[in-house]
């Protein structure tokens, strides 16, 4: 299989504002898509995550990879999260976010400081994670994509100054 | 070819409706707005706007003359060598507070410059009360030499009675 870079949709494409459908088929095609998606994120400017709808596949699949943070942070390694659902939230923090689908703009967003989530992996097995800080921020950003929500929808004041993580 | 960007600066007593009136006039002649920033400083209204497509500096000043006079504003228009899509991302934030005294901004910014920090955004306020003012400053910037020199310079500022916090920033992009 040759790995391809998939075209990234950019704002204001309506698909970025559309809720995605659950993944039901856990087959080789799905795993191949996840590899293309990872390769696509790798070609962008220092991305730590990407979601399927950003390349026009309207299914609940996203990648989270906090190992790519510039400074080391707590992480669970590179993750493929399918049909993810956040089951618990705790605390909040302000951080700056950008998006592959929104070039040349970053802004401050409040996210839960720690989350628990359940999802399926690329084989369809149920997985659960407890994430905090930067990794939790990535997961919340990517899961928002699956619900048609962009970080632009969650911007707070430029001068918001809760402790940054 | 696009006309050059002009930087329009308006300052005066803050009253409702200034931005709406100014932008209505500019929109009426087909002007394009770029990045803008408005703030209140010392009970005064201040706004800077990138504008193009509304003519020369003198023509823009002429267009806005009646608005300027209605609101009692000071207006300044300069041609600038500016471009959009030039955003830069801060990777460090510095917060300073102390009892107010002269020289805080000069001391802090000189120390940060020496530590290799390029300031991208600075906001300072005087709070507290008239007889016991406090000074608060928030600075975002780029640390060309890493965060360690900034933390060392902050330790020296603490010796001068300033409370300073340095926070590394990382933009999450996904």
- Residue B24 CB-density burial (10 A; 0-12 exposed, 13-18 middle, 19+ buried): exposed
Taking 70 as the threshold, does the pLDDT of residue B129 lie above it? yes
From the CA of A126, how many Å to the nearest CA of chain B?
24
Tell the residue number behind the tokens 């994120």, with chain if given. Answer: A41
Tell the residue number behind the tokens 């698909």, with chain if given. Answer: A15
* A104 inside 8 A of chain B by CB: yes
pLDDT averaged over chain A?
94
Give dist(CA B158, CA B116) in Å, integer: 18
3 state SS of A154: helix
- Of the two residues A85 and B159, the one the predictor is more confident about is A85
A142 included as an active-site residue = yes
B16: CB partners within 8 A, 6+ apart: none
Digit-coded pLDDT (tens) for B43-90: 899 999 999 999 999 999 999 999 999 999 999 999 999 999 999 999
pLDDT averaged over chain B?
94
Q: What angle do CA B38, B44, B50 make, to 5 degrees?
A: 30
CB-based contact A51 B174, cutoff 8 Å: yes
Taking 70 as the threshold, does the pLDDT of residue A142 lie above it? yes
B85 chain-A contacts, CB cut-off 8 A? 104
CB-based contact A98 B89, cutoff 8 Å: yes
What value does the mean pLDDT take over residues B15-22? Answer: 96
Give dist(CA A30, CA A62) in Å, integer: 12
Q: What is the pLDDT of residue A163?
A: 55
**CA-based nearest residue in chain A for residue B138:** A159
* Closest residue by Cα to residue A128 from A92, A93, A87: A87
Q: What is the pLDDT of residue A162?
A: 59
Digit-coded pLDDT (tens) for A5-52: 999 999 999 999 999 999 999 999 999 999 999 999 998 778 999 999
Number of DSSP helices (H) and strands (E) in chain A, helices first: 2, 5
Taking 70 as the threshold, does the pLDDT of residue B1 lie above it? no
Taking 50 as the threshold, does the pLDDT of residue B112 lie above it? yes
From the CA of A59, how many Å to the nearest CA of chain B?
17
Q: What is the pLDDT of residue A165?
A: 44
* Closest residue by Cα to residue B168 from B89, B97, B108: B89
* A14 inside 8 A of chain B by CB: no
Q: pTM of the full predicted structure?
A: 0.90
Digit-coded pLDDT (tens) for A87-136: 999 999 999 999 999 999 999 999 999 999 999 999 999 999 999 999 99
Q: Which of B85, B90, B174 lies nearest to residue A141, judging by beta carbons?
A: B174
CB-based contact A159 B138, cutoff 8 Å: yes
Digit-coded pLDDT (tens) for B148-162: 999 998 889 998 889
Q: What is the pLDDT of residue B48?
A: 97
B109: CB partners within 8 A, 6+ apart: B119, B122, B139
B87 chain-A contacts, CB cut-off 8 A? 104-106
Give dist(CA A112, CA A92) in Å, integer: 4
DSSP output for B70-131 = HHT-EEEEEE----SS------EEEEEEEE--TTHHHHHHHHHHHTTEEEEEEEEEEEEETT
Q: Which of B87, B138, B167 lies nearest to residue A105, judging by beta carbons?
A: B87
DSSP output for A60-126 = SEEEE-GGGSSS------SEEEEEEEEEEEEEEEEEEEEETTEEEEEEEEEEEEEEEEEEE-TTS-E
State both tokens at A148: 């048609």
State both tokens at A20: 């995605």
């Amino acid at each position: 299989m040759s790995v391809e870079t998939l075209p990234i949709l950019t704002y204001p494409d309506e698909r970025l504002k559309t809720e995605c459908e659950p993944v039901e088929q856990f087959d080789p095609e799905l795993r191949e898509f996840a590899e293309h998606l990872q390769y696509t994120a790798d070609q962008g400017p220092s991305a730590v995550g990407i979601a399927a709808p950003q390349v026009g596949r309207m299914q609940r699949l996203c990648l989270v990879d906090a190992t790519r943070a510039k400074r080391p942070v707590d992480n669970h390694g590179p993750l493929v999260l399918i049909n993810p659902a956040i089951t618990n939230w705790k605390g909040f923090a302000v951080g700056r976010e950008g998006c592959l689908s929104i070039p040349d703009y970053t802004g401050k967003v409040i996210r839960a400081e720690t989350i628990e989530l359940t999802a399926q992996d690329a084989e369809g097995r149920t997985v659960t994670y407890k994430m905090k800080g930067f990794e939790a921020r990535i997961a919340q950003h990517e899961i928002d994509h699956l619900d048609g929500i962009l970080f632009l929808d969650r911007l707070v004041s430029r001068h918001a100054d809760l402790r940054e993580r | 070819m696009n006309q050059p960007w002009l930087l329009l600066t308006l300052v005066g007593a803050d009253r409702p409706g200034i931005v709406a009136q100014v932008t209505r006039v500019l929109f009426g002649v087909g002007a394009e707005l770029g990045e803008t920033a408005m703030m209140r400083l010392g009970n005064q209204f201040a706004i800077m706007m990138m504008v193009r497509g509304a003519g020369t500096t003198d023509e823009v000043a002429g267009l806005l003359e009646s608005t300027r006079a209605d609101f009692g504003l000071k207006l300044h228009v300069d041609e600038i060598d500016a471009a959009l899509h030039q955003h830069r991302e801060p990777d460090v934030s510095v917060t300073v507070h102390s009892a107010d005294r002269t020289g805080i901004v000069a001391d802090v910014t000189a120390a940060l410059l020496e530590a290799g920090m390029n300031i991208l955004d600075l906001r300072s306020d005087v709070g507290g009360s008239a007889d016991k003012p406090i000074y608060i400053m928030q600075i975002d910037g780029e640390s060309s030499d890493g965060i360690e020199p900034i933390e060392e310079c902050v330790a020296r500022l603490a010796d001068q009675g300033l409370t300073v916090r340095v926070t590394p920033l990382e933009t999450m992009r996904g």
